[in-house]
Amino acid sequence: MAQLFPESFGLRLRLALLVALALAAIGILIWRAVMAYPAGAHDALEQPVPFSHKHHAGDDGIDCRYCHASVELSAVAGIPPVSTCMTCHSQLYTDQPALAPLLAAWRGEAPLRWQRLHKLPDFVYFNHSIHIAKGVGCESCHGAIDEMPLTARVAPLTMQWCLSCHRSPASHLRPREQIFAQHWQAKDPSATGQRLMSAYHIDTRRLTDCSTCHR
């Protein structure tokens, strides 16, 4: 019976499979690295007005809820209307070129079109209010916002990142009166976390159900 393949065919086939597997493994590693640290995650986006959380939240001590009024009641934190900005800026810095778009929006000439910084896929459901109700501080996701002259994203917002907190949320929990405070630290993090887990009735078995985030 005639030989259909040369004697070296088996060796070549095995080498080709090994190369394919190696390339696949490298591709998976690159994909995981990109997902864990998305491009531009720590870069501030250009906005119509160079709003500084450092100035407003840090230097002036304005509470998060003054601008993000729906964060405790709604899935979305909310973007403040121009009228909120003009509470102060109808009197302060009205001649600054950086605020020209704000004043134009106030006069009805052109709307402010903010660039969205934190984006989740449409198949992911996230609710700000339930995180606030369960004692998760703004800082856990948004970082030291009071130190940012221009707002940048600090969290990768990947599924693995979210799950790491859902599996072990205790270290991220705060008393409700400290949720909007920056740089708050518990004196005994372990004991405080476990006490708040019980007080907020947090069951980690339900937090990792698919339907919690995918509805």
Residue 72 lies in a domain: yes
Residue 48 lies in a domain: no
Structural domains in the chain (count): 3
The neighbouring-strand residues paired with 136 are: 173
CA dihedral of residues 69, 74, 76, 80 (deg, nearest 10): -20
- Percentage of the residues of the chain whose pLDDT score is greater than 90: 70
Same-domain check for residues 58 and 156:
yes
Same-domain check for residues 200 and 156:
yes
* Lowest mean pLDDT, pick from 9-13, 57-61, 141-145: 9-13
Q: What value does the mean pLDDT take over residues 169-194?
A: 94
Please say if the pLDDT value at position 35 is more than 70: no
Residue 206 lies in a domain: yes
CB of 120 within 8 A of CB of 38? no
Q: Which amino acid is at 162?
A: C
Same-domain check for residues 23 and 95:
no
Please say if the pLDDT value at position 55 is more than 80: yes
Please say if the pLDDT value at position 132 is more than 90: yes
Same-domain check for residues 121 and 30:
no
Residue 202 lies in a domain: yes
Residue 4 lies in a domain: no
Q: What value does the mean pLDDT take over residues 34-63?
A: 81
Query: What is the structure's pLDDT at 1?
Result: 45
Range of the domain at 98: 82-113
Query: What is the structure's pLDDT at 27?
Result: 75
Same-domain check for residues 28 and 126:
no
Same-domain check for residues 95 and 138:
no
Same-domain check for residues 75 and 94:
no
Please say if the pLDDT value at position 39 is more than 50: no
* Lowest mean pLDDT, pick from 19-23, 68-72, 160-164: 19-23
Residue 94 lies in a domain: yes
Q: How far apart are CA 15 and CA 5, in angstroms?
A: 16
Residue 126 lies in a domain: yes
CB of 44 within 8 A of CB of 151? yes
pLDDT grade, residue 14 (50/70/90)?
A: confident
Same-domain check for residues 25 and 121:
no
Residue 156 lies in a domain: yes
Same-domain check for residues 91 and 139:
no
DSSP string, the chain: ---SS-TTHHHHHHHHHHHHHHHHHHHHHHHHHHHHS-TTTTSBPP-SS---HIIIIIIS---HHHHSTTTTTSSS--PPPHHHHHHHHTTSSTT-GGGHHHHHHHTTSS---PPP-----TT----HHHHHHTTB-HHHHH-SGGG-SS-B--S---HHHHHHHHHS-GGGB--GGGTT-SS---SSHHHHHHHHHHHTT--HHHHTSHHHH--
* Lowest mean pLDDT, pick from 32-36, 41-45, 203-207: 32-36
Same-domain check for residues 176 and 70:
yes
Same-domain check for residues 107 and 177:
no
Same-domain check for residues 153 and 190:
yes
